[in-house]
Structure 1
Amino acid sequence: MLTTEGAIATDVIAEKGTVKSAAYERFRQALFDGRLRPGQFVSQRDLVALLGLSIGALRELLPRLQFEGLLKVMPQRGIQITQIDLPMIRQAFQIRAAFEREAVLHAVRKLDDAALDAQEALHRSIMEEVRTKPDQALFERGQQVDDGFHNLLIAGTQNDLLIQAYGVNSIRIRLIKLDRVTLSAAVLPSAFADHLAIISAIRSRNPHEAMDAMDRHMMNARERALEL
C-alpha cells in the first residue's frame, strides 16, 4: 500500500511523463506542419518560443530527440533539425523494410480475412475516386489509408519494442515524403497497387509471396524518394 508521500511521488512522475510526451508531440507536429524544416538551424530560445515550452522542458527533451536522430545539438552553432539527404533516405527505408518484413510475416499467420477485405475495399475506393475526381482532400484521405495499412501490420506484431522503433523511424519517413514524395494522381495508383499485391499475398498465406510483395513496395517507395 502506498504512503501519502509515495502516492505524491508517483503522481509527480506520471505528470512529468505526460509533460515530456506533450513536448515531444509539439516538436513532431512542428516538423510535420513545416514550422521546423529539415536542415534548419535554431537556438534553444527559438524552440522555446516555437513550441511553447519552458527552457527546462526543452532541455529534458533534447537528449531524446538527438538520440532518435531528429536533430543535432552543435556547440557554437545551435541546434540543427535532421537533414533530408541520400544517406538518411537509404537508412530510413532500410530500417523500415526490416520492420515491415517482420510485420508482413506475422500478418500471414495472424491477420484475418475480414481485416484484409476491409483494407482492400478502402484502397479500391480511393483508387476509383482518383480516376474520377482527384483533389487535395482525396490525397489526404489516401495518405491516411496508406498510413493506416502499414500501422495495422506493425501493430499486429504486438511487439512493443518494434512498434516504438517503427514510430520513431516513421517520423523520418514522413519528413522524406513531405520533402520529396507526396501522394498524387501519378503516385497514388502505383503505391496502392503495391498494397493490393501485399494484401493478396497475405490472403494466400504464403510467407514468401508476402515478403516479396512487401520488398517490392519498399523498393518502389525508396526509389521514388531517391530519384528526386
Structure 2
Amino acid sequence: MRLTAEEQKLIGTPLSRKDAVLQLLKAAIVDGRLPPGEKLDQNDIAAQLGVSRMPVREALKQLESEGFVTVYPYRGVEVSRLEPSEIVEMFGIRIALETLAVGRAVAGLKPSHLSRMRKILGTMDNLVADPSEGDGWMGLNHEFHSIVNEASGWPRLVESIDQFRGNVERYVRCYLAFRGREQSQGEHWELLAACEKRDPAAAQDVIRRHLDNTAGALVAALAHSPDAPQRIPTPA
C-alpha cells in the first residue's frame, strides 16, 4: 500500500496508533489503492506502518463494523465488495439522511458558505472533462457537499452521512470514470441555486434526484461490468 507524505506523518501524530492506522486504511480503500477483494495481512500492514499488530487488528475490527472490510474464517480479511443490492440500500439511506440535512441546512447557510460553494463549483467546472487531474474533482465534490451537510447543525447526522459516503465513494469514483461528471456537476449547480433561493423543498428535491441518479447509473454500470470496481485508476 503506497502512502502519501501526509499519510506517513499520521503515524507520528498525537492520534492513537489505532486511529492513525484506521484513517490510513480507510483512505486507501476509498481512493482505490486497496481495491475490492484485496487481501489484507495484519503482519504486512503492521510492518509497513511501523506499528504493532494490536492497532492494526483494532483498526480492521472498526473497518469491519463500518462495512469496509470482510473477515472470512480461515481466509483472512479482504476489502469488501458491494453487491448492487447493497449499493441500492446504502444510497437509500443516504437519500434519507442527506435530504434531512439539506432541509435543515438551507436556512443555516451563511453568505460566506454560499460564496465558497460557488467558488468550489467554478473550480470543478474546469476539471469535469479532464480525468487526468486525478482526485481534484472528487475532493472538491466532497468539500461542496460537506458545507451543506455541516450547516445542518447536527454533528451526529453529519457523521452518519460521512460513513455511508465513504463506503460507496470508491465505487462512485469508478462510476464517474465510465459515466462522466457532467450530469452530476449540473445537479450541483441546481443545488446551489436552491440554497441561494432559501428554498428547502427545492434543495431536497435536487439532492434526492442527485443521489438517486448516481445510484441507478452505478448499479447499471456494475451490472454491465461486474469487475468495474477493480479498474479504479491508482492516483499518480
Normalising to structure 2: TM-score of the pair? 0.77
Quick one: distance in 1 between partners of 2:137 and 2:180? 11
Quick one: distance in 2 between partners of 1:187 and 1:27? 27
The count of residues paired between Structure 1 and Structure 2 equals: 209
Cα distance change on mapping 1:55 and 1:126 into 2, 3 Å: closer
Give the drift of 1:56.
1.4
In terms of Rg, which structure is larger?
1
Quick one: distance in 2 between partners of 1:108 and 1:165? 19
Does 2:198 match 1:202?
no
Cα distance change on mapping 1:80 and 1:142 into 2, 3 Å: closer
Where 2:67 maps in the other structure, the secondary structure is: coil
CA contact (8 A) 2:40 2:77 kept: yes
CA contact (8 A) 1:39 1:84 kept: no
Paired AA for residue 77 in structure 1: R
2:42 to 31, 41, 44: 44
* 1:96 aligned partner: 94
Paired AA for residue 63 in structure 1: K
Quick one: distance in 2 between partners of 1:151 and 1:209? 18
Normalising to structure 1: TM-score of the pair? 0.79
Paired AA for residue 58 in structure 1: V
Give the drift of 1:108.
1.5
Quick one: distance in 1 between partners of 2:33 and 2:140? 25
CA contact (8 A) 2:64 2:71 kept: yes
CA contact (8 A) 1:143 1:183 kept: no
Quick one: distance in 2 between partners of 1:135 and 1:73? 34
Where 1:181 maps in the other structure, the secondary structure is: helix
Does 2:51 match 1:53?
yes
2:220 to 194, 203, 227: 227
CA contact (8 A) 1:41 1:79 kept: yes
Quick one: distance in 2 between partners of 1:94 and 1:51? 36
Taking every aligned residue pair, what percent have the same amino acid on both sides?
A: 24
Quick one: distance in 2 between partners of 1:224 and 1:40? 25
CA contact (8 A) 1:44 1:55 kept: yes
Quick one: distance in 2 between partners of 1:59 and 1:140? 29
CA contact (8 A) 1:26 1:51 kept: no
CA contact (8 A) 2:117 2:147 kept: no
CA contact (8 A) 2:32 2:170 kept: no
